[in-house]
Amino acid sequence: MVSIKDIASACGVSIATVSKALNNHKDVSESTKTMIRETAKRLGYLPNSQARALKTNRTYNLGVLFAERAQSGLTHSHFAAVLNGFKNEAEANGYDITFISQQIGENRMTFYEHCICRNVDGVVVACVDDFEDGDISELLKSSVPTVTIDYQSPDNPAVLSNNEFGMKSLVEYAYGMGHNKIAYIYGDTSKVTSVRVKSYEDTLRSLNINVRSDYLLQGKYHDPVSTEMLAGQLVKLDDPPTCIILPDDFSAIGAMTAFEKLGMSVPDDVSIMGYDGILLSRFLNPKLTTFRQDTERIGAEAAKQLIALIKKEISADAPPVIVNGSLREGSSVKNLVGE
């Protein structure tokens, strides 16, 4: 293995000069830096992460904690896109990524213990159903720099998608298309869900539409099966909704399946809207009207916040970063204006 000493010998400079050049110190000329870097590349030099960790007290390794009830992992379209944004920003700043779990081979440990075991500089917590869970809470209150996504903790910086605005946009769009019988199938109990449900109810009231309990049903995120059942229940009501907002875009498949079995079509017989704006929504037939979350920016902002926290450029009580999205119009909502 090529060492810094080998590079110094090949270049005829001191080991200290090589170290400074590879770390881009200002007291080494650009010509010397170029010569040393080219020599290092020619010799096949690779920096030793363990040696760098001993010197800088940092591993340049970020943990990612991703856990949700559906256990869909990286097949979860929305969070896969968020984590891709996180990954791109982290790697652009020279960081590697380690997924944090509670199981390593035969050994079971807490999330905090895994972070310590892998010696991560910090961790981002995404897509966790229960932030009050003991193991999650232990990590959030620990000394490990931590940033949360879509959950605001008093102990950590957060990046939040504007879920209140997202739901408000969907309800107002449906109303603008002439709908005042608007139902909402919401997802698993979480902070995100409670914000969306409240925004749904508040927006209906602001439009002078009564909030009906039979139009508000709890399902599951990323689960077409539960959505199929609940969507079927809604359209069989004596006074059915004309438009149904779904937990997420993926669940739209379940709603469409339910209507097809009942001989109904979208949007002629019933209108639907999704949430997230994943790529799949563009290819459903009809094209789904949905609220697109800016997943790339959510992930990138989480990485920026975490790196800034590690560098002590921000404090743990820094205000949350709010990321807006936008309504993406498809053809799944019928225009009832004038009917």
- 144 and 88 housed in the same domain: yes
pTM of the model: 0.80
- 282 and 198 housed in the same domain: yes
Return the structure tokens found at 72. 């869909």
- 287 and 316 housed in the same domain: no
The CATH number of whichever domain residue 207 belongs to comes to 3.40.50.2300
Domain membership flag for residue 129: yes
Domain membership flag for residue 28: yes
Domain count along the chain:
3
- 232 and 248 housed in the same domain: yes
Q: Nearest 5°: phi and psi at 164?
A: -60, -50
Domain membership flag for residue 54: no
Domain that holds residue 36: 4-47
List Cβ neighbours of 89 (8 Å cut-off, separation of 6 or more).
299, 300, 303, 304
Q: What is the pLDDT along the chain (339 residues), one digit of tens a residue?
A: 788 888 999 999 998 898 888 877 888 999 999 999 999 889 888 766 555 554 556 788 999 998 755 555 566 778 888 999 999 999 999 899 999 887 666 778 888 988 888 889 999 998 666 677 778 889 999 999 999 998 888 889 999 999 999 999 999 999 999 999 999 999 988 889 999 999 999 999 999 999 999 999 999 998 999 999 999 999 999 999 999 999 999 999 999 999 999 999 999 999 999 999 988 888 999 999 999 999 999 999 999 999 999 999 999 999 999 999 999 999 999 999 966
3-state secondary structure the chain: CCCHHHHHHHHCCCHHHHHHHHCCCCCCCHHHHHHHHHHHHHHCCCCCHHHHHHHHCCCCEEEEEECCCCCCHHHCHHHHHHHHHHHHHHHHCCCEEEEECCEECCEECCHHHHHHHHCCCEEEEECCCCCCCHHHHHHHCCCCCEEEECCCCCCCCEEEECHHHHHHHHHHHHHHCCCCCEEEEECCCCHHHHHHHHHHHHHHHHCCCCCCHHHEEECCCCCHHHHHHHHHHHHCCCCCCCEEECCCCCCHHHHHHHHHHCCCCCCCCCEEEEEECCHHHHCCCCCCEEEECCHHHHHHHHHHHHHHHHCCCCCCCCCCEEECCEEECCCCCCCCCCC
- 156 and 301 housed in the same domain: yes
